[in-house]
Amino acid sequence: MGAYNKISKFAISMVVAVSGFATVASTAAIGAEKKSREEWKKEYVRPSEIPFPKENPYTAAKADLGRTLFFDPRLSGANYISCGTCHNPSFAWGDGLAKGIGHAMTRLGRRTPTILNLAWGEYLMWDGRFETLEQQALGPMAAAVEMNQNMKAIVAELQSIPEYRTLFNVSFPGKGITVDNIAKAIATFERTVVRGVAPFDRWIAGDEHAISTSAKRGFDLFNNKANCVACHSGWNFTDSSFHDIGMPDKDIGRGKVVPGVVVMQHAFKVPTLRNAVERAPYMHDGSLKNLYSVVEHYDNGFVTRPSKSEEIYKLNLTAPEKTDLVEFMKTLSSKDAPVALPRLPAYDQTVAGSLNVSPAAGPSTGSSAMRA
Amino acid sequence: MKSKILASAVATLFVVAVAAPASAEIVITQKAKKFDKKKISIKKGEAVKFVNSDSISHNTHSRSSGGKFDLGVSKPGTAVSKVFDKSGKFKVRCTIHPKMKLTVKVN
């Protein structure tokens, strides 16, 4: 628990420490806008605090409980997959795989997205099917191909662990362990997962030596010729929008959620670019090995179809320009202290009992689910 | 004569003033990936016109219970309208750019 407090305090104090905060008005993303470098830099100032919804306000105890739950594999049906199994902090809260692996080694349909900076997210998952982080927190747990947890059984399972009873009673006085409170605790923890100050942030704050000349040229390209800013706008490098960027696979993404909207066919969530270097491979299908490949895709590698975003077009970037863009994206990585794992609550040692664990040899029941 | 003209003008103004609310259409502008207002209050039966003044397309929809609708995709420079014929509070969003949020309170 103590270790988590450090993370939580770090996440909040880290952003509070950045001076000159202004709410980032996301006017940046209209690609045709012409601004000077200094004007663009004003669009990328970090926020000073993490937003928490009034329906689920922050408390240290709740975030601490959420962190414990996040790393507890007993939240999965077979008790061996935690949220942190796929959202590994050592991979900037992803898993480093092209496509995630779930219950009984099931290969999932999409790459595991990072949970980094989700406090600012909207319509979560690659296809935006969950409106809140609380809804999202339960999705993978209940999905048969992911954590394969019986959501009716999880409450009883946690109830049987004395320390969890105590932790939930502290975080949710008079309410204790419920599915909703599991979701609220995990979501609260996830909102505290904010990466620290990167070289780019130091440059924005006035340190001209924080990033290279090549990276600065990359920043100019990012906001102008390459038009990355059309969607990867603001300090978190995403406007949370959905676009068909012309990946050639058959996954229709958000098209399943909003089938009547043509431009949402093959559309996926625009991810943050924060700490992108540690989160290869890239795209919803994990098909692009490195950031240079990503730049190549946007330059001229996309497929054209009726749903393709109007903001995706041939860029005609030169090889040095592509290198500059990659150099710029490298500056978005912070070097934070390693994340300490929590001590997990022990089973009750005072009464005899047996565990009711679903077999690990294949998903049991429930609908299949695409990865986040 | 002057007084007749004046009376007639006043009468015309009065008619216009009375007739205006029935045909009133509240205009909301979509610009820089934002609605130009965060909240509006309207009367039941009134229409809201969503004008896309951006350089990119937007969608206008609501998932609020009792008032779900989807006005499809609006290209730059076009507009769509929605008559709100039920009382309640409706969250209007863009499915492409979900940070665009407008609450319509229908009295």
Q: How far is residue B47 CA from its own chain's centroid?
A: 5
Between B61 and A351, name the one with better pLDDT: B61
Nearest CA to CA, how far is A10 from chain B (Å)?
27
By CA distance, what is B97's nearest residue in A? A241
Q: Compute the nearest-CA separation of A272 from chain B (Å).
A: 15
CA atoms within 13 A on the CB side of A239: 27
* SS3 label, residue B87: coil
Q: How far apart are CA A204 and CA A363, in angstroms?
A: 48
Main-chain phi, psi angles of B20, to 5 degrees: -55, -45
Rounded to a whole number, what is the distance in angstroms from the first to the last CA of chain B? 45
Tell me how far the alpha carbon of residue A268 is from its chain's centroid.
13
Q: Which amino acid is at A201?
A: D
Q: How many residues does chain A have?
A: 372
Residue A240, classified by CB atoms within 10 Å of its CB into exposed (0-12), middle (13-18) or buried (19+), is buried
Chain A residue with Cα closest to B101: A122
Give every residue of chain A whose pLDDT is below 50, as ranges. Answer: 1-31, 363-369
Name the token pair of A136: 């999202």
Domains assigned to chain A? 29-47+196-330 (1.10.760.10), 60-191 (1.10.760.10)
Does the CB of B76 have a partner CB in chain A at under 8 Å?
no
Residue B94 to residues A161, A298, A301, B44, Cα–Cα distance (Å): 44, 24, 28, 23
3-state SS assignment for residue B74: strand
CA–CA gap between residue A59 and residue A82 (Å, rounded)? 23
Please confirm whether the linkage preceding A281 is cis (ω < 30° from 0): yes
**How much is the pLDDT for A371?**
56
Q: How far is the alpha carbon of B21 from chain A, nearest alpha carbon, in Å?
A: 33
Roughly what angle, to the nearest 10 degrees, separates helices A60-70 and A162-171? 140
Secondary structure (3-state) at B22:
helix
Q: What is the pLDDT of residues B8-52, one digit of tens each?
A: 444 444 333 333 344 568 999 999 999 999 999 999 999 999 999
At A13 the pLDDT is: 38
Distances (CA, A) of A337 to A2, A96, A197: 15, 19, 12
Q: Report the pLDDT averaged over residues B60-85.
A: 94
Question: Cβ distance A280 to A290 under 8 Å?
Answer: yes
Residues 6 or more apart whose Cβ sits within 8 Å of residue A276: A282, A291, A329, A332, A333
Assigned token pair, A114: 């990072």
**β-strand partners of A94:** A88
Helix (H, G, I), strand (E, B) or coil at A331: coil
The bridge status of strand B101-106 relative to strand B88-93 is: antiparallel
Residues of A whose CB is below 8 A from B97:
239-241
Shortest CB distance from A242 goes to which of B54, B56, B96?
B96
Structural domains in chain B plus CATH codes: 24-106 (2.60.40.420)
CB contact under 8 A, A239 and B33: yes
Does B34 lie at the interface with A, CB-CB under 8 angstroms? yes
Over the stretch A23-64, which tens digit does the pLDDT of each residue have? 233 333 444 568 999 999 999 999 999 999 999 999 999 999
Measured in angstroms, the CA of B85 and the nearest CA of chain A are apart by: 23
Chain B environment of A254 (Cβ under 8 Å): 95
Q: Could B54 and A30 be called an inter-chain contact, meaning their C-beta atoms sit closer than 8 Å?
A: yes
DSSP A268-290: EE----TTGGGG-SBSTT--B-S
CA distance A163 to B93: 42
Residue-wise pLDDT for A108-140, tens only, equals 999 999 999 999 999 999 999 999 999 999 999
